[in-house]
């Protein structure tokens, strides 16, 4: 695996790959890698792409400076994992390489409701920072396919909208959420859970799976939401939201016949660690890319 810190070096290598007829599959990450990240690399490889990963803890998407400071950083561990997963190039730029002083690269698209609900409500500015870094990285890497996890469902929905609005012909591939055996979605933030909170955290997945059963049984979503919030409280977590939404518009869905593609999304604090998760409750048509 090649490791690049400079854009020019990465781009020279990417040009060679293209000249040799290879397609590029790109997975942007913030490091502290786990099996969820590696699944993106493996999916890219299986699709015949040359897998390229970036590790960049993007300061502009952290609304909380303390969260940024405490975000886990473990480059040696990450490099070793990527080697085993078949990653061919790792891009690890510093902040000045991505945001050269004096240049304003901010993406200022108005995503309307997509950035206002759920995560947008609790993390002001987060999605503008995320869209900015994803656009910047895509302009650098110019991949054929972009691999992202369903784990961050709202993020993926916004990136899909950004690609469409900017007319970028990059295929977005949504990869399923990889979970621990007890259902907890893998996340770099899980490393910061206390043993007590690690034991409580699977309540997110429990609440989501119970919500799916209730939804398919025709129970109104307002009731399902109340039950889910109670499940999270009872487990010792502090939920911020539990929403049942249309998977494209992120508008609330009132009952099971109201939309063909329905997703339940949750965010909750486990001690001082904020966790998110989601589950598709119903999907009756092929997802748009
Ligand atoms: P992050 O490093 O948390 O910014 O995540 C980088 C990419 O990995 C994003 O596309 C995430 O959605 C994806 N990802 C993170 N956790 C998981 C997981 N448990 N399963 C699948 N994909 C994941």
Which residue's alpha carbon is nearest to atom 22 within ligand 1? 149
Helix 203-216 × helix 221-234 angle, to 10°: 160
Retrieve residue 41's tokens: 């690399």
Q: Separation of 278 CA from ligand 1 center, angstroms?
A: 13
**Is 255 part of the annotated catalytic residue set?**
no
For 50, list phi and psi in degrees, rounded to 5. -80, 115
Mutation test residue for ligand 1: of 29, 33, 37, 189, the one with most atoms within 8 Å of CB:
37
pTM comes to: 0.96
The finding on whether 36 has its CB within 6 A of some atom of ligand 1 is yes
Widest CA span in the chain:
57
pLDDT value, residue 286: 58
Instruction: Round to whole Å and give the CA distance between 219 and 206.
Output: 17
Asked whether 206 and 239 are in contact (CB, 8 A), the reply is: no
The finding on whether 43 has its CB within 6 A of some atom of ligand 1 is no
Retrieve residue 67's tokens: 């969260």
The finding on whether 55 has its CB within 6 A of some atom of ligand 1 is no
From the centroid of its chain, how far is CA 229? 23
Retrieve residue 188's tokens: 């770099």
User: How would you label 222-236 residue by residue, b for 16+ Cβ within 10 Å and e otherwise?
Assistant: eebbeebbebbeebe
Among the atoms of ligand 1, which is closest to the Cα of residue 179? 19
pLDDT means per 10 residues, the chain with 289 residues, are 98 98 98 98 98 97 92 96 97 98 96 96 95 98 98 98 97 98 97 97 98 96 98 98 97 92 98 97 72
- DSSP annotation string for 246-278: ETTT--B--STTS-SEEEEEEEEEETTEEEEEE
Q: Separation of 219 CA from ligand 1 center, angstroms?
A: 31
Q: Separation of 52 CA from ligand 1 center, angstroms?
A: 15
Among the atoms of ligand 1, which is closest to the Cα of residue 152? 12
Among the atoms of ligand 1, which is closest to the Cα of residue 178? 20
Mutation test residue for ligand 1: of 29, 56, 60, 183, the one with most atoms within 8 Å of CB:
29
Asked whether 45 and 69 are in contact (CB, 8 A), the reply is: no
Spot the catalytic one: 22, 34, 37, 255: 37
Instruction: Round to whole Å and give the CA distance between 253 and 263.
Output: 9
For 175, the 3-state DSSP assignment is strand
Among the atoms of ligand 1, which is closest to the Cα of residue 151? 12
CA angle 192, 194, 195 (to 5 degrees): 130
């Amino acid at each position: 695996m090649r490791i690049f810190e400079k854009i020019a070096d990465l781009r020279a290598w990417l040009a060679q790959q293209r000249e040799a007829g290879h397609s590029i599959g790109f997975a942007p990450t913030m490091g502290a890698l786990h099996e969820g990240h590696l699944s993106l690399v493996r999916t890219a490889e299986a699709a015949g792409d040359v897998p390229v990963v970036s590790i960049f803890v993007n300061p502009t998407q952290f609304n909380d400076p303390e969260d940024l400071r405490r975000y886990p950083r473990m480059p040696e561990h990450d490099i070793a994992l990527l080697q085993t997963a078949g990653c061919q190039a790792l891009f690890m730029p510093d902040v000045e390489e991505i945001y050269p002083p004096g240049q304003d690269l901010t993406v200022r698209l108005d995503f309307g409701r997509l950035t206002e609900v759920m995560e947008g409500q609790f993390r002001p500015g987060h999605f503008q920072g995320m869209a900015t870094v994803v656009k910047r990285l895509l302009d650098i890497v110019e991949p054929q396919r972009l691999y992202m996890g369903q784990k961050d469902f709202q993020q993926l929905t916004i990136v899909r909208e950004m690609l469409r609005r900017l007319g970028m012909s990059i295929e977005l591939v949504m990869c399923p959420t990889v979970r621990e055996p007890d259902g907890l979605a893998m996340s770099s933030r899980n490393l910061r859970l206390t043993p007590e909170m690690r034991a409580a955290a699977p309540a997110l997945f429990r609440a989501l799976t119970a919500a799916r059963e209730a939804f398919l049984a025709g129970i109104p979503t307002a009731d399902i939401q109340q039950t889910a919030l109670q499940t999270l409280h009872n487990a010792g977590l502090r939920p911020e939201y539990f929403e049942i939404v249309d998977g494209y518009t992120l508008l609330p869905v009132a009952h099971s016949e109201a939309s063909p593609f329905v997703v339940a999304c949750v965010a909750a604090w486990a001690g001082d660690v904020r966790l998110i998760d989601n589950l598709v409750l119903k999907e009756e048509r092929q997802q748009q890319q």
